[in-house]
Amino acid sequence: MRDRSRAASALRLVCWVGGFGLGVLMVGATYQWMSHRRDLRENPAPGKLVDVGGYRMHLDCTGEGSPTVILDSGLSDSSLSWFKVQPEIAGFTRVCSYDRAGLGWSDPSPHPRDSKVFAEELHTLLHNAGIQPPLILVGHSMGGFDVLIYAGLHPDEVKGMVLVDSAYPDLADRLPKLKTSLSEWRRSLEREEYGMRFGVTRALGRCGVGTPELTPKLRTVECDMSWIQETIAECRSMWDASAAEAGSVHSLGSIPVIVISEDPAKNSSEFLPEFEKGQEALMRLSTDGSRVTAVGSGHQIQKERPDVVVSSVRRVWKETQDSAEPRLR
């Protein structure tokens, strides 16, 4: 009898602990869901949501003029990464930032997450939103892959390009530590994904952190399952599928291309030589290519030296205006 009593007590304890744990998870999941709903109400998309075939992508266009400048963010970043750049470019032409599917205010996509898909999704987004070429494409970091592929797929639409500390297709092959570092970050995100699902990441303040002005918006777009799942997927494809796809673009013809590179002083001695080779190779993709160094800036040039990005975009835009002017014979 005593053994049966002990067994029954143990069973009740297990059931109680299991029920309590399940209750905690349910509370956490509810907290996460309700908090994200509240964030979206308080920080709605600044642009418009455009249907691209059963899911919607966020596009935010400001200013007037032609060509239209398209801003493509780096790995895991949303359109918010251009908050210092877009208002300045809008002063002289139309400029659009957007969120890749699954990031920012965009819905997740059912399609594979690699740069060729990103380029085609962007093309559909612009077409469905009524944004007509010509275009000047601006890509930061992994976004450089996206815009290179876009230009390769739709060369008649692209009249200029600015690559902002862009990734280079074979850089990870030259520096295997880069691929290892990205894999380690991906694995940390995969572990964090469980905490995000039940509100732990949000409650501990480990997501959506930025300037006081941006933090509420960053929390809206980064403290969400969609963000972490999309980021993990982009990490998986970056140095394999996406790099190979970008590497298939061997020439940008004669369109003006400016490659903006971070300050060499911000790079490690091991990384610098291969980084320089990659940036030079990007510049040589066009017969009208040039390079600019963002003195004092690390990788996030659009945030640390937005003036360099704006002036480079203006130079490319001005060159397209000059080439469009009728010439006297």
What does residue 220 show for φ and ψ, rounded to 5 degrees?
Answer: -65, -40
Under DSSP, the state recorded for 302 is: H
Residue 327: pLDDT over 50 = no
Position 212 scores a pLDDT of: 81
Cα atoms found within 13 Å of the Cα of residue 249, Cβ hemisphere only: 29
For the whole model, what pTM was predicted? Answer: 0.90
Number of Cβ within 10 Å of residue 169's Cβ equals: 23
pLDDT in tens, 225-255: 999 999 999 999 999 999 999 999 999 999 9
Give the pLDDT band of residue 18 (cuts 50, 70, 90): low
3-state secondary structure of 41: helix
Position 198 scores a pLDDT of: 75
Q: Mean pLDDT lowest for which of 73-87, 169-183, 278-292?
A: 169-183
Residue type (1 letter), 107: D
7 in a structural domain: no
Percent of the chain surpassing pLDDT 70: 88
- Quickly tell me which residue has 């014979």 as its tokens: 329
Number of domains in the chain: 1
3-state secondary structure of 97: strand
273 in a structural domain: yes
35 in a structural domain: no
Position 28 scores a pLDDT of: 54
43 in a structural domain: no
H or E, element range at 208? none
Domain containing residue 293: 48-324
* Domain at 170, CATH number: 3.40.50.1820
pLDDT in tens, 165-223: 999 999 888 888 888 888 999 999 898 888 888 778 888 888 878 878 889 999 899 98
3 in a structural domain: no
136 within 8 A of 316, measured Cβ to Cβ? yes
Average pLDDT, integer, range 269-285? 88
11 in a structural domain: no
214 in a structural domain: yes
13 in a structural domain: no
Q: What is the rounded distance in angstroms from the CA atom of residue 317 to the CA atom of residue 137? A: 11
Tokens representing 7 are 């067994």
Q: Who contacts 90 (Cβ-Cβ below 8 Å, separation ≥6)?
A: 62, 63
Is it true that the peptide bond before 67 is cis, omega within 30 degrees of 0? yes
24 or 207, which is more confident: 207
